[in-house]
Structure 1
Amino acid sequence: MIRINLLPHREAKRKQKQAAFVAMLVLGGLLGVAVVLLVGGWNASRIAIQEQRNAALSTENAELDKKIKDIATLKEEINALKSRQQAVEDLQGDRNQPVYLFDELVRQTPEGVYLKGFEQSGQRVILNGYAQSQERVAELLRNLSGNSPWLERPDLTEVKAATLTQGKIVRKAVEFTLAVNIKRARESEEGEDAKDAKAKTLGKAPLAGIKAEGSKP
């Protein structure tokens, strides 16, 4: 016996497919929302962690800046203390400057030169005097510039012909005015140390050359 289905099966299948399609769309939407929420949560957690790290770095930077400021303040205080200490040492050393000055003037003044006066202003000394000739003045300048451990940088400011009268004796002379710097005690010591080091270096160089020559066959 042949059975004939007269129901609209095509429309039923079409509705079934539409329902399945809608279900798939809904499921896909739900999965998409879940993925977005998961990714968003993960990104939010990573951002929160990075913000915590940034906050920690900012705190560390602030502490380092504070330490740097403290170090700078300490350096300024140390420099100020060194300056005060240096000033005190210079004052103590300056007490003996007149002794050094008179001693060096006696040592470095050549024969034929007569000093009639001097004036000191700080580390600068102005000398006035007479000399038999300009050569004597030049010799005095050389002595003050190269031979004195306490006097340096002489500067001849004036030289002129003069006449000296002693009783009935009239002599021609040269009147001069020069300025010279007097070193502080620490500057003199530093200069002596530098000279000693240079002398040792120059003293070792010839010995090395002799050894080198002696080693040749």
Structure 2
Amino acid sequence: MLRINLRPWREQQRSAALRRLRFQVVGGVFVGLCVVLVMDQLARQRAQQQAVANSSRQVAIERLDAQLAELESARQTLESVRDQTDALAALHADRALMTPLFAGLERSLPEGVQVDELKLEGARLHITGVAVSGTVLAQFMRDFGLSGVVLDLELKWMKSLPAGDKFLLLARTSAARS
């Protein structure tokens, strides 16, 4: 019988299998490294594109903020002009009310009555002053009530002082402020 020694053949088969395994491991590592490098390159490109998009959006936002600031300034200017217009309209309306009020007050103010304060709150008129006597104050109230400028003239209080009688008169104006 012939004896065949298979040991060298098995050694060759093992070394060939080992070489294939090493080649596959090195090839797998190389392919994995290539995949990682490609993925890294794609991620960097995506990040760069995102940075460019973000910077263009930031420029657009800054431009819109500048426009918004201009609009806010214009709105504040418009609000200021509206306030001034309203104030002028109120002054114009008050002029129509105050002229007859002061004219009626001047016509009916007798000698011996001094008006210290004249306050108009809405349609209510408050007159504070000093009269030398109650009769002079009564004459003033009668004449001022007949002037047609005020309605429901009433004496709220009167205090006697050494200089005269201090008083507070309340009335409604015949034409209310608008």
TM-score, structure 1 as length reference: 0.51
Q: What are the Cα deviations for residues 160-212 of structure 1, in whole angstroms up to 9, with x where unaligned?
A: 348xxxxxxxxxxx9233387999x9x701xxxxxxxxxxxxxxxxxxxxxxx
Task: List aligned pairs for 1:57-206, cutoff 5 A.
Answer: 57-89=57-89, 92=92, 95-96=95-96, 97-103=98-104, 116-119=113-116, 126-129=128-131, 130-131=133-134, 148=150, 159-161=158-160, 175-178=165-168, 188-189=177-178
Task: List aligned pairs for 1:16-95, cutoff 5 A.
Answer: 16-89=16-89, 92=92, 95=95
State whether residues 114 and 131 of structure 1, in contact with CA within 8 Å, keep that contact through their aligned partners in structure 2. no
Cα distance in 2 for residues equivalent to 1:86 and 1:41: 66
The 3-state SS of whatever aligns with 1:118 is: strand
Cα distance in 2 for residues equivalent to 1:60 and 1:121: 58
Cα distance in 2 for residues equivalent to 1:181 and 1:49: 77
CA RMSD of aligned residues (A): 4.7
Higher RCO (C-alpha 8 Å, min separation 6):
2
How many matched pairs? 158
Identity %: 17
State whether residues 119 and 126 of structure 1, in contact with CA within 8 Å, keep that contact through their aligned partners in structure 2. yes
Cα distance in 2 for residues equivalent to 1:9 and 1:68: 86
Cα distance in 2 for residues equivalent to 1:179 and 1:47: 81
Change in CA separation of 1:79 and 1:34 when aligned onto 2, cut-off 3 Å:
same
Change in CA separation of 1:182 and 1:34 when aligned onto 2, cut-off 3 Å:
farther
Partner of 1:202: none
The 3-state SS of whatever aligns with 1:188 is: coil
Residue range with higher mean Cα deviation, 71-80 or 97-106: 97-106
Q: What are the Cα deviations for residues 85-137 of structure 1, in whole angstroms up to 9, with x where unaligned?
A: 34544555565524323437989x9xxx99723246897864333545xxx7x
Unaligned runs of 5+ in 1: 163-173, 190-217
Cα distance in 2 for residues equivalent to 1:64 and 1:155: 63
The 3-state SS of whatever aligns with 2:115 is: strand
Partner of 2:123: none
State whether residues 101 and 182 of structure 1, in contact with CA within 8 Å, keep that contact through their aligned partners in structure 2. no
State whether residues 94 and 177 of structure 2, in contact with CA within 8 Å, keep that contact through their aligned partners in structure 1. no
Unaligned runs of 5+ in 2: 121-125
Cα distance in 2 for residues equivalent to 1:86 and 1:177: 34
Cα distance in 1 for residues equivalent to 2:101 and 2:150: 10
Partner of 1:171: none
Change in CA separation of 1:64 and 1:179 when aligned onto 2, cut-off 3 Å:
farther
